[in-house]
Amino acid sequence: AKETSPPSRQAREVADAAARAAAKQEAEADEAADPLTLWPAQRAVRDEPEAPAVTVLPRLARQLKPHQEDAVRFMWNACLAPTRQEAHSREEHGCVLAHSMGLGKSLSAIAFLHTALARASTPTGSHYVQFINGKEPPPDVREKPTALLVVPTSVCRQWEREFKRWLVDATGAQVGESSFSWMLLDASLTSL
């Protein structure tokens, strides 16, 4: 077997420079991308403060095909609400996204999850996904929102790769202005 030596310092520097250039190019493309707005900005009204628009992360939005944008909107409307005002009166519910293999459900789901968990906060810092029967949670019970994605064991590693593909840049840094983390829990259900 042929032994390989670790890359030289110069080779690492070249690779790092290429990764930084690729990340910069991606960031510039993100800035130029049209936003996918799920809720428009809301002006301050009486006792309601101004609220910024809720948009899909540009890195994700610019990759979505029209049917995937429709899927993100479908999940958003089903799980949160078509409008910010309706979110305050919604009852808990969800949806199922089903389609043929290879049509982009993973990217659609990642775009929805990232938006709902990391980009959809109230002006007071609560996350809309944590509202219970339309009510904002009290400040003492607010935590970072979470979601559980249940997939067959055979595709767990693929989901992990998909999250990294869409949410980590060429330098290994997470994209977007807020932190979003995921954890792979490989568990098998043997009986009900």
- What contacts 153, CB < 8 A, 6 or more positions away? 186, 188
**pLDDT confidence of residue 188:** 64
**pLDDT confidence of residue 186:** 65
**pLDDT confidence of residue 56:** 94
d(CA 100, CA 16): 38
Phi, psi of 54 (to 5 degrees): -100, 115
**pLDDT confidence of residue 94:** 84
- What contacts 166, CB < 8 A, 6 or more positions away? 59, 60, 63, 107, 110, 111
Query: Strands, DSSP E only, in 20-159?
Result: 37-39, 54-55
**pLDDT confidence of residue 118:** 87
80 contacts 87 by C-beta, under 8 angstroms: yes
**pLDDT confidence of residue 26:** 80
User: Digits of tens for pLDDT over the chain (192 positions)?
Assistant: 566 777 788 888 888 888 888 878 887 887 888 889 999 988 887 777 788 899 999 989 999 999 999 999 999 999 888 888 787 777 777 888 888 888 899 999 999 999 998 888 887 778 888 877 777 777 777 778 888 888 888 888 888 889 888 888 777 788 776 667 777 776 666 655
Q: Global pTM?
A: 0.80
